[in-house]
Structure 1
C-alpha cells in the first residue's frame, strides 16, 4: 500500500466551514477511483494549507490520479500549485473494521 499526502499553500486563509464546502464539492471526484481505499481532506489550523491524505493500493494507481489534469484542477480550484509526497505503507490499523491490514 501507498500513502500519498498532497498539500498546497492557499493564496489566502479559509475557514473550516469554507474548506468543508469546497471539499464536499470535490469529494465525488474520488468515489470509485481505482485503487483508492480512503481519502482524508486536511486543513491547517491557520487555514493557509490544505490537501489530502490518501491510502492507495499501489503507487501506480496513485500516480494515475495525480496527472497534469489533476494539477490543473487544483490550480484552478485553489489558485496554487499542489505537491505530492509518497510513503510506503506496509501496515494499517483500521478501527472501523477492527482489522490490521498488511500489503504482504
Structure 2
C-alpha cells in the first residue's frame, strides 16, 4: 500500500463550504476506482490548507494517476497548485468493519 498526500496551500483561508462542495462533486469519479482503497478530503484548522489523502493498493497505480493533466485540473479547482507527497504505508488500522 502507498499513501498520497496532496496539499493545496492558500495565502487566504479556504472557504469550508466551498471545499465541502468540491468534495461532494469530486467524490463520484473515485467511487469504485481500481486500486484506490480510500480517499479523504480535508481542511486544516486554520483553513489555509486543503488536503486530500489517498490510500492505493500499489505505487504504480498511485503514481500513474497523478498526471500533468490531473495536476492542472485540480489547480484550476482549488485555485493553487498542489504539493504531492508519496508515502510508504508501513502499518494500517481499519476499524470500519467493527
TM-score, normalised by the number of residues in structure 2? 0.89
CA distance in 2, matches of 1:24, 1:3: 21
Structure 2: segments with no counterpart, 5+ residues: none
Structure whose residues are more often strand by fraction: 1
The match for 1:9 is 9
The match for 1:51 is 51
1:6-49 deviation per Cα after TM superposition (whole angstroms, max 9, x unaligned): 10113531232221112111111212222100001111112111
The answer on whether the counterparts of 2:14 and 2:50 sit within 8 Å (CA) in structure 1 is: no
TM-score, normalised by the number of residues in structure 1? 0.84
Matches within 5 A, 1:13-24: 13-24=13-24
CA distance in 2, matches of 1:8, 1:38: 19
Give the stretch that moved more between structures: 66-75 or 3-12: 3-12
The match for 1:61 is 61
Matches within 5 A, 1:1-104: 1-10=1-10, 12-98=12-98
- Provide the alpha-carbon RMSD of the alignment: 1.5
Aligned length: 98
Shift of 1:96: 1.0
For 1:94, what is the secondary structure of its paired residue? coil
1:51-90 deviation per Cα after TM superposition (whole angstroms, max 9, x unaligned): 2111100111101211111101111111111111111113
